[in-house]
Chains A and B, each alone.
Chain A
Amino acid sequence: MIERFLMNTHYIVLIGVILLLIIGFFGALTKRNLIKILIALGIADTGVNLFFITIGYISGKTAPIFSKNGLTASQMVDPVPQALVLTAIVIGVAVLALGLSIIIRVYEHYGTLNVSRIKRMRG
C-alpha cells in the first residue's frame, strides 16, 4: 500500500497540493497582515494549479509537443489542464498586482497593514 503510494508521482504531488492548500487557507484565515494574506492566497493558488497539472499527468507519457520523430498522440499527457493553468496563472498575477496597488492605498490612509487595526467601516 505505502509502496504503491510512494512510487506514484501523482500521490506524492497530491500530498504536496493538499498541504499547500491547507497552509494557504490557514494563512489567509488567521493572518492579520494584508500582504501576508495575499502571499497565503498565492500559495493556495499555486496549490490549485499544481492540482490541475497533476490530474492531467499520466505516468509514462510525455509532454504534448510533436517535436521528436515518431511521437504519437497516444504517448502524450493531457494538454487541456496545461492550457487552463496558463490562464489561471496569468489571472493570479493580475489579481495580485491589483491587490497590492490597493494595499498601497490602504497603507497611505491607515498607516498600517494590520487588518484588525484598519477600522471597520461604519455609518
Chain B
Amino acid sequence: MATLVIITVLCVVLMVVAAWFAIRTSDLVSAVIGSSVVSLMASVLFLILHAPDVAMTEAAIGAGLSTFVFLIAIRKTERYEKDEEQ
C-alpha cells in the first residue's frame, strides 16, 4: 500500500514538473515532449486508479499520437517561440 502511495506521489510530482516545463520552455519540441510526459504520467495514474481502458487510450492517443501531430505541425511552422511582445 505504501509503495503505491509513493508511486502515486512520484507520478503526480513528475507530471506537474513536466507540465510546468512544457509551459516555460521556449523550444516547442521540448514543450511537446513535456506534454507527452504529462500524458504518460496521467496514464500511469489512470492505471493506479483502476481505469485500464482509459490508461490505454491516454497512452496511445495522449502520449503517442498527439505528440506526433504536434511534431508534424511544428515541422511545418517554426520551432522556437519568439517571445517579443507587440
Contact = CB atoms under 8 A, between A and B. Distances in A.
Contacts of A6: 5, 9
Contact of B22 (A39, A93, A103): A39
Nearest to A42: B35
A89 B51 contact: no
A5 B29 CA distance: 36
Nearest to A17: B12
A62 B65 CA distance: 28
A113 B9 CA distance: 36
Contacts, number: 156
Contacts of A57: 49-51
B63 to A, nearest CB: 10
Question: What bracket does the count of chain A residues touching chain B fall in?
Answer: 35 or more
Interface residues of B, number: 49
B19 A65 contact: no
Contacts of B45: 13, 16, 50, 53
Taking each of A16, A90, A97, A103, which has the highest tally of chain B beta carbons within 10 Å of its own beta carbon?
A16
The 9 lowest CB-CB distance pairs between A and B, nearest first, are A16-B12, A100-B73, A27-B23, A107-B77, A63-B50, A57-B49, A33-B81, A23-B19, A19-B16
Given A40-B23, A81-B51, A89-B54, 7 more contacts: A9-B8, A13-B45, A35-B73, A36-B31, A43-B23, A82-B53, A86-B54
Interface of A: 6-7, 9, 12-13, 15-16, 19-20, 23-24, 26-27, 31-33, 35-36, 38-40, 42-43, 46, 49-50, 53-54, 56-57, 61-65, 77, 81-82, 85-86, 89-90, 92-93, 96-97, 100-101, 103-104, 107, 112-114, 116-117
